[in-house]
Structure 1
Amino acid sequence: MPTTDTNAQVTVVQVKKRLRGWLTNIALLLIAAIVGVQAAATPLEPAQNPRLALQLREQLAQSAAQAAEHSQLDQLLAIFYQLRQFRPAWAEPAQQAALLAALDDIESDGLSSGDYALDTLRATWAQPTLPADVALTTELLATRSLLTALSHLLNGKVDPRVLERDWNFQARSIEVRSALSAMSAAIDAGEIAALFNRARPMYPLYEQLREGLRRLRKVQSTGGWPQIADGPTLKTGDDDPRIPALRERLRLSGYGDPEMEATADSTHFDQVLEDALRRFQRKQYLAPDGVLGKSTLAALNITVAMRIDQVRANLERARWLLHETSAEFLLVDIAGYKATYFQHGQPQWSTRVQVGKPYRKTPSFRSQINRITFNPTWTVPPTILRNDILPKVRKNPGYLAANRLRVLDHNGKELRAEQIDWSNPSGLTLRQDAGAGNSLGRVAIRFDNPYSVYLHDTPHTELFDLEQRAFSSGCIRVERPLELVERLLDDPAQWNRAAIDVVIASNQTRNVSLHRPVTVLLMYWSVDIHSDGRLGFKRDIYGRDSRILAELAKPQPLRLFD
């Protein structure tokens, strides 16, 4: 919008020149898409406080003149207020109250309202009158807080690339001026709560995590749940002084039964308590044997504060990831050992998987499944060759033959194992032929990535029955992989199950390209939501939650991506 102040026009030109090269990638500025308000909804009214408007103009002009020394957030403020003709955004008590309420509610997102100056704004606006300099400072502080909070809700407070160097999930970006204009219109319309709600991921999991966090904090506010002392394994029929604490622990986390109230102080382990313990075990990915053993005791004794932090870490992941979903995709839940195939945004098929060991982690990334290999050969990766196979060959010269591994030189010529100095081999490749017993099984599902990671069948099907399934060297072993392949190929005439079985029976390696690539998302979630709304807590097998929480505790700037 035009302004009659020549100096202000020069200031805006200066700012725009500085911003032009990078502003289009600012994650915050999805606000236009979020608020759903057109930038030119209504003409701006003259500033109701001309003196404050003049001070805003002068302050922002000074900031722009020193733009190289100021944050990108300060430069955004200059554009925001120029679009408003330097009209204050927070002069009315209604707007102030709405912003305070929205910042207070951000605690349910696992973020800290202190990062957005909530207490300072509340205390300042509670005063009946403000000196001119305080009014100016508070006006700018409020807008900074809003911009930063929306940015953190849109794409997360923490830049995931700080934690994972090769992170390739994309942050969202839009055009800057229209976004700031839309935000301004939403403020004037009193739609600040809507700004925050629409900034949050529009996915049921996110709101369910927020609700779960509220429940946990309610338990925390009343003192948390009791710790259960160490002792012998307990089962139905036992009597033990720890049993009342076990009942109370299950009741506070929603696994109790009305019948348990009558026996709250009883030291007897009855059938009702066993049933409640089984419910807890099922929801927490433990063997549902109804017995209080070491693993179940350890899970029960994780404090409510630790569970709150676990939910907070996953809310941050959700802000990074949930906008990546599309109509059709395969989601691999690494910490949950599960793969789920979605169509039209709804789960259609699911199976158990095995993932990388803690010292050979399966990475988080997105790609496109574009080809299937039937009867794959397996070329041993250098790390596995060096760390796993060579020590076995040195101990047992017959290991290669027993596992159908052929030795090839750099030209692909096969060598005899007894000709090789296994104490210092070089320039060698080990390859396992296709067929029964191949480490990749009968099929590999491939997608481009820098980690040489893919999904595949496995001869080690017995491991799928274990609760914890981090056994691979980074790739994902899939239970019932041929069912998934049939869905991915999506060609019942040519690639039905009977046709697939014929190809596999041939023992011949065959590569088939998908006529329509399917998105694959390898994600790490240490909290899940069950159909009844209960939180399911998984083991943080790779220790990733603690790294997110450490970064969340630090001051973070407005999220920028390039």
Structure 2
Amino acid sequence: MQNYHKYGNRPFILFLVTLICLVLPACNTVAGILTEKLNAELKKRIELEMFRQGLVCQGELICGTSLIPDYYIHREYKPVWVNDTGLSADAAMLVTSLESSTDDGLRAEDYHLTRIEQLINELRQIHDQGEIDTAEAVSMWIDLEVLFTDALLLYGSHLLGGRVNPETLHPDWILAGDSIDLMNILRTVVLSGPSITIFDRVRPPHGGYTGLTALLSEYHRIAVDGGWPVVAMGPSLRKDEQDPRISQLRRRLTISGDLMNSGESLQPDVFDETLESAVIRFQGRHGLNADGIAGEKTLSALNLSVEDRIRQIELNLERWRWLPHDLGERYILVNTADFRLKVVENNHTTLDMRVVVGKPARQTPVFSSRLSYMVVNPYWTVPTTIAVNDILPKIKKDPEYLTKNRFRVFDGWQQDAQELTPELVDWTTLGKRYFPLRFRQDPGAMNALGRIKFMFPNKFAVYLHDTPHRTLFNETIRGFSSGCIRTEKPLDLAAYLMSGNAGWTREKLAEAIEKGSQRNIHLPAPILIHLLYMTAWIAEDGIPQFRDDIYGRDRLLEKALRQRVTRSPFSPRSNPDDPSFELQGVFPQRQKVGGAAVE
């Protein structure tokens, strides 16, 4: 498959020829002298601790400043990428991989590639002048050695944990990445074979990641071919209508693969049944109301350029790199941006349902946990923020609101707090600055949590639950909650989770609900749950999916990714507020920050 990216347009074949031909004379005496000088120069730099002070090599910031010295000390100061014959085969392979980094949605210029190419050409000129072992040449060889090693470490770290630390962008984004000692892998691979295989070991293994990289390549091809046409805005387009814009719509959907085997229509400006099916397909994979009518929202989605979609794919590849490599053989996945929950077993979806997620002002967080029990007929203890912002205004409008909706009032959060009579509370004295009371809603049909809630430990007080507001599942955009996830089919989910316990069939669960009393039910086997935020992905049927950025997180991530790496992601002195990843040789789990109480 061809690569359609910045470096793909360069005369790369000539560059590789230059790289391979940059060899030293075969004279063992000269080569041996140069080897000694290279080793000595590398040792001198390390002993001077230039790396540990934030080294800038050939105008490029060296990010592996805390790792490179230890690595070369372990190697007794023997270079990896340069040897008696010039550049090693591994060096050529590394350049190939760095050129291909855009296939992962990364930027090749972050990995010193431009300066490496320039330095190789300069060394070639020095070689042609017969000045291969001068102090200047030796220094340049070591510069090249250091740039290669740092490029490998930096690219490997970005593949493993992402280029941006998500917690610096979103305090409610808590995902523990994999912990791998990249330096140990480098030592092992360099000794046993081509060091370039390190990238295959740290690249996300998920099919979702691989699928997005393939889509990225396809969209790069479309961009090179000129992209897709804009469909002029105007009145809605629908079946059986005739309009000059319909030919634009037809071409647009053909290029994106939504209108297939269309051939040359006898009436290209007529909205026929085949075109209607293509519009429905497009709407379905963009989270729009699939009515087959090209209205304002559909036209707006159609007119996002291929470059916009390429960037959206790149952002979500970065999100995949934040995830653990092992999501589990069996897990629950909630994609907030898609408003859906899926249960996955052995890479296949066994249960799928719509969900309601947090509104933009009260966003559902991103984290992984383990669901271990559920509660039928739960009480709802109302978080203070919801009590003050949502319920208190309703009480002031309707003094009987609490009684009508089966809420009880307590004079504090202590276990022995006294229950109060709502009619005797002076609600006018309470507000955001002073609200010592606690609300609790009794189980029942009106309970905000419905009849079942599913519990998994997290600092946000977020969980899955039923809801009495069933009509909201008919909405296309379902961001209505205060952060928790309302499930469309709670009994189906409960029955699935209890399938390993013969005593808790679907009928038994329904009987327990009908009794009306709260009861905790522990799962026969806990299950991993991942709450994610993906605005582009490949569905299980292979169809590309895009969704609106309901929380504005794409914009923040794009801004962070546009920044050049300006400090070491490996350095223990990295700024904790910098979006660069702090790795320090071993990739630690990210620290949990932030917190909220939500419904």
| Bin for the TM-score computed over the shorter chain | 0.7 to 0.9
Whole-Å separation in 2 of the counterparts to 1:69 and 1:551 = 22
The one-letter code matched in structure 1 to 2:73 is Q
Whole-Å separation in 1 of the counterparts to 2:174 and 2:480 = 25
Q: Alpha-carbon deviations, 1:220-271, whole Å to 9, x = none?
A: 12222122222111111212221121111111111123234335x8322222
Once the 2 structures are TM-superposed, how far is the Cα of residue 68 of structure 1 from its aligned partner?
A: 5.4
Once the 2 structures are TM-superposed, how far is the Cα of residue 278 of structure 1 from its aligned partner?
A: 1.4
Whole-Å separation in 1 of the counterparts to 2:33 and 2:360 = 60
- Alignment partner of 1:555 out of 558, 564, 571: 564
Q: Alpha-carbon deviations, 1:86-126, whole Å to 9, x = none?
A: 22222235323211110011101111000001122123324
Q: Alpha-carbon deviations, 1:458-515, whole Å to 9, x = none?
A: 1112221222111111000011112212232344322111221121111001112334
Q: Evaluate the alpha carbon distance shift between residue 497 and residue 211 of structure 1 in structure 2; reply closer, same or farther with a 3 A threshold.
A: same
Over aligned residues, Cα RMSD in angstroms? Answer: 2.2
Whole-Å separation in 2 of the counterparts to 1:275 and 1:513 = 46
8 Å CA contact retained: 1:79, 1:177: no
Residue in 1 aligned with 2:577?
none
8 Å CA contact retained: 2:287, 2:476: yes
Q: Alpha-carbon deviations, 1:440-475, whole Å to 9, x = none?
A: 111110111111111001111222122211111100
8 Å CA contact retained: 1:47, 1:53: no
- Alignment partner of 2:96 out of 93, 98, 101: 101
8 Å CA contact retained: 1:257, 1:272: no
Whole-Å separation in 1 of the counterparts to 2:547 and 2:163 = 23
Say whether residues 1:61 and 2:47 are aligned partners: yes
Whole-Å separation in 1 of the counterparts to 2:531 and 2:480 = 17
8 Å CA contact retained: 2:172, 2:365: no
Residue in 1 aligned with 2:114?
119
Say whether residues 1:413 and 2:428 are aligned partners: no
- Alignment partner of 1:140 out of 146, 150, 160: 146
- Alignment partner of 2:162 out of 153, 156, 159: 156
Whole-Å separation in 1 of the counterparts to 2:69 and 2:520 = 56
Once the 2 structures are TM-superposed, how far is the Cα of residue 414 of structure 1 from its aligned partner?
A: 3.0
TM-score by length of 1: 0.86
Whole-Å separation in 2 of the counterparts to 1:262 and 1:126 = 55
Once the 2 structures are TM-superposed, how far is the Cα of residue 160 of structure 1 from its aligned partner?
A: 1.5
Say whether residues 1:462 and 2:463 are aligned partners: no
Residue in 2 aligned with 1:262?
265
Residue in 2 aligned with 1:49?
35
1:35-434 matched pairs, under 5 angstroms? 49-63=35-49, 67=52, 73-91=64-82, 92=87, 94-127=89-122, 128-130=124-126, 131-165=137-171, 167-175=173-181, 178-185=184-191, 189-192=193-196, 194-263=197-266, 266-410=268-412, 411-425=416-430, 426-434=435-443
Q: Alpha-carbon deviations, 1:297-321, whole Å to 9, x = none?
A: 1111112121111111100000001
Q: Alpha-carbon deviations, 1:411-436, whole Å to 9, x = none?
A: 54332222111112342222211011
Residue in 2 aligned with 1:23?
none
8 Å CA contact retained: 1:96, 1:125: no
Once the 2 structures are TM-superposed, how far is the Cα of residue 137 of structure 1 from its aligned partner?
A: 0.8
The one-letter code matched in structure 2 to 1:314 is N
Q: Evaluate the alpha carbon distance shift between residue 358 and residue 166 of structure 1 in structure 2; reply closer, same or farther with a 3 A threshold.
A: closer
Q: Specify the SS of the correspondent of 2:49.
A: helix
Q: Which moved more, 1:47-56 or 1:337-346?
A: 47-56
8 Å CA contact retained: 2:356, 2:480: yes
The one-letter code matched in structure 2 to 1:171 is G
Q: Alpha-carbon deviations, 1:285-336, whole Å to 9, x = none?
A: 2122111111111111112121111111100000001424012221111111
Once the 2 structures are TM-superposed, how far is the Cα of residue 541 of structure 1 from its aligned partner?
A: 0.7
Q: Evaluate the alpha carbon distance shift between residue 248 and residue 72 of structure 1 in structure 2; reply closer, same or farther with a 3 A threshold.
A: closer
8 Å CA contact retained: 1:247, 1:260: no
Q: Specify the SS of the correspondent of 2:453.
A: strand
Q: Evaluate the alpha carbon distance shift between residue 495 and residue 48 of structure 1 in structure 2; reply closer, same or farther with a 3 A threshold.
A: farther
Q: Evaluate the alpha carbon distance shift between residue 171 and residue 446 of structure 1 in structure 2; reply closer, same or farther with a 3 A threshold.
A: same
Once the 2 structures are TM-superposed, how far is the Cα of residue 80 of structure 1 from its aligned partner?
A: 2.0
8 Å CA contact retained: 1:366, 1:521: yes
Aligned positions, number: 512
The one-letter code matched in structure 2 to 1:138 is L
8 Å CA contact retained: 1:103, 1:116: yes
Q: Specify the SS of the correspondent of 2:66.
A: helix
8 Å CA contact retained: 1:63, 1:75: no
Q: Evaluate the alpha carbon distance shift between residue 247 and residue 47 of structure 1 in structure 2; reply closer, same or farther with a 3 A threshold.
A: farther
Whole-Å separation in 2 of the counterparts to 1:333 and 1:218 = 28
8 Å CA contact retained: 2:312, 2:554: yes
In structure 1, runs of 5+ residues without a counterpart are 1-45
The one-letter code matched in structure 1 to 2:174 is N
Whole-Å separation in 1 of the counterparts to 2:217 and 2:407 = 55
8 Å CA contact retained: 1:377, 1:438: yes
Once the 2 structures are TM-superposed, how far is the Cα of residue 382 of structure 1 from its aligned partner?
A: 1.1
8 Å CA contact retained: 1:404, 1:433: yes
Once the 2 structures are TM-superposed, how far is the Cα of residue 359 of structure 1 from its aligned partner?
A: 0.6
Residue in 1 aligned with 2:574?
none
Q: Which moved more, 1:74-83 or 1:316-325?
A: 74-83
Residue in 2 aligned with 1:15?
none
Q: Percent same amino acid at aligned positions? A: 37
Q: Specify the SS of the correspondent of 1:239.
A: coil
Once the 2 structures are TM-superposed, how far is the Cα of residue 546 of structure 1 from its aligned partner?
A: 1.3
Q: Specify the SS of the correspondent of 1:355.
A: strand
The one-letter code matched in structure 1 to 2:559 is A
8 Å CA contact retained: 2:450, 2:465: yes
Once the 2 structures are TM-superposed, how far is the Cα of residue 356 of structure 1 from its aligned partner?
A: 0.4
Whole-Å separation in 2 of the counterparts to 1:170 and 1:544 = 19
Q: Specify the SS of the correspondent of 2:65.
A: helix
Q: Specify the SS of the correspondent of 1:373.
A: strand
Q: Which moved more, 1:121-130 or 1:96-105?
A: 121-130
Once the 2 structures are TM-superposed, how far is the Cα of residue 204 of structure 1 from its aligned partner?
A: 0.7
Whole-Å separation in 2 of the counterparts to 1:384 and 1:183 = 55
Q: Evaluate the alpha carbon distance shift between residue 183 and residue 157 of structure 1 in structure 2; reply closer, same or farther with a 3 A threshold.
A: farther
Q: Evaluate the alpha carbon distance shift between residue 200 and residue 175 of structure 1 in structure 2; reply closer, same or farther with a 3 A threshold.
A: closer
Q: Which moved more, 1:540-549 or 1:407-416?
A: 407-416
Whole-Å separation in 2 of the counterparts to 1:383 and 1:261 = 60
Q: Evaluate the alpha carbon distance shift between residue 99 and residue 221 of structure 1 in structure 2; reply closer, same or farther with a 3 A threshold.
A: same
In structure 2, runs of 5+ residues without a counterpart are 1-31, 56-61, 127-136, 570-580, 589-599
Q: Evaluate the alpha carbon distance shift between residue 236 and residue 515 of structure 1 in structure 2; reply closer, same or farther with a 3 A threshold.
A: closer
Once the 2 structures are TM-superposed, how far is the Cα of residue 190 of structure 1 from its aligned partner?
A: 2.9
Q: Specify the SS of the correspondent of 1:369.
A: strand
Q: Which moved more, 1:422-431 or 1:166-175?
A: 166-175
Q: Evaluate the alpha carbon distance shift between residue 309 and residue 175 of structure 1 in structure 2; reply closer, same or farther with a 3 A threshold.
A: closer
Q: Evaluate the alpha carbon distance shift between residue 134 and residue 268 of structure 1 in structure 2; reply closer, same or farther with a 3 A threshold.
A: same
Whole-Å separation in 1 of the counterparts to 2:183 and 2:270 = 68
Once the 2 structures are TM-superposed, how far is the Cα of residue 155 of structure 1 from its aligned partner?
A: 0.7
The one-letter code matched in structure 2 to 1:53 is N
